Amino acid sequence: MRMQTRGAGLASLALLMGGIFTTPTLCSGKTDSVEINKLLSEVNDHAIQLRADSDKMAAFTRSNSSWESYAVQLNLIKDHINAAGKFLANLNSERVNGSVWQQTAIDRINPLLKELATNTEIVINKLNENPNRVHMTDFRDYVQVNADLSSGLAHTIGDFVDYGNTKTKLERLAAELELN
């Protein structure tokens, strides 16, 4: 039984590796934009902070934290969303200069950040409407959704940043080995 699992894992890895090197839509076309890579890294930094702040607020739901604690944390989250939104606006304006994978990254980040901003606005409104209900199930659920959305955003952006860094390293190594 153990050998079957290991063999299946290796087969999956082989298929994945084959897909990486044979998928022309992500690897061909325009060259990567250095500016977009820089902006992706910067928005990634904000997404990581956003995830940490959202996780901290989700931890509040498992304690007796006051509504003021939520308000402070929501302000931090809102600030990170606004900062990420500014970088995303720059990414959107640079999109035409990017390679296919960079354009795909931008296209995937847009709806995630929008959904997170919308949900954060709902949490802020719920807190403003009735600050004494921070320990109620519906409020906790919105806070947890925010944590999940911010985690997904950070994961997605991080994966694209890692992809870009790995692609750059592979291209540099190919040049050094004179494979091109």
| Cβ(141)–Cβ(123) below 8 Å | no
Fold of 32-176: Four Helix Bundle (Hemerythrin (Met), subunit A) (1.20.120)
Give backbone dihedrals phi and psi of 154, rounded to 5 degrees, phi first.
Answer: -60, -40
| Cβ(109)–Cβ(17) below 8 Å | no
* pTM, two decimal places: 0.80
User: Average pLDDT, whole number, for the chain?
Assistant: 86
- Give the residue, 70 or 29, on which the prediction is more confident: 70
Does residue 62 have a pLDDT over 60? Answer: yes
Q: Tens digit of pLDDT for each residue in 157-178? A: 999 999 999 999 999 999 999 8
Does residue 137 have a pLDDT over 60? Answer: yes
How many residues in the chain? 180
At 35, the pLDDT band (50, 70, 90 cuts) reads: very high
At 30, the pLDDT band (50, 70, 90 cuts) reads: confident
First to last CA, the chain: 43
Give the mean model confidence (pLDDT) for residues 78-101.
Answer: 94
DSSP SS3 for 102: helix
The pLDDT, as a whole number, for residue 179 is: 83
Q: Sign of torsion, CA 86 44 152 26?
A: positive
Write down the H helix ranges in 131-177.
137-176
Exposed e or buried b per residue across 13-24, where buried means at least 16 C-beta atoms within 10 angstroms of its C-beta: eeeeeeeeeeee
At 63, the pLDDT band (50, 70, 90 cuts) reads: very high
Which two three-digit tokens encode residue 54? 């959202």
Give the mean model confidence (pLDDT) for residues 33-44.
Answer: 96
Angle at 97 between CA 42 and CA 155, to 5 degrees: 35
Give the mean model confidence (pLDDT) for residues 116-121.
Answer: 95
Does residue 92 have a pLDDT over 60? Answer: yes
At 29, the pLDDT band (50, 70, 90 cuts) reads: low
Task: Residue 89: name the closest of 127, 152, 46, 52 by CA.
Answer: 46
Residue 166: HSE in the Cβ half-sphere, 13 Å Cα cutoff: 10
Q: What percent of the chain clears pLDDT 70, i.e. is strictly above it?
A: 83
- What is the rounded distance in angstroms from the CA atom of residue 19 to the CA atom of residue 21? 6
The domain limits of the chain are 32-176
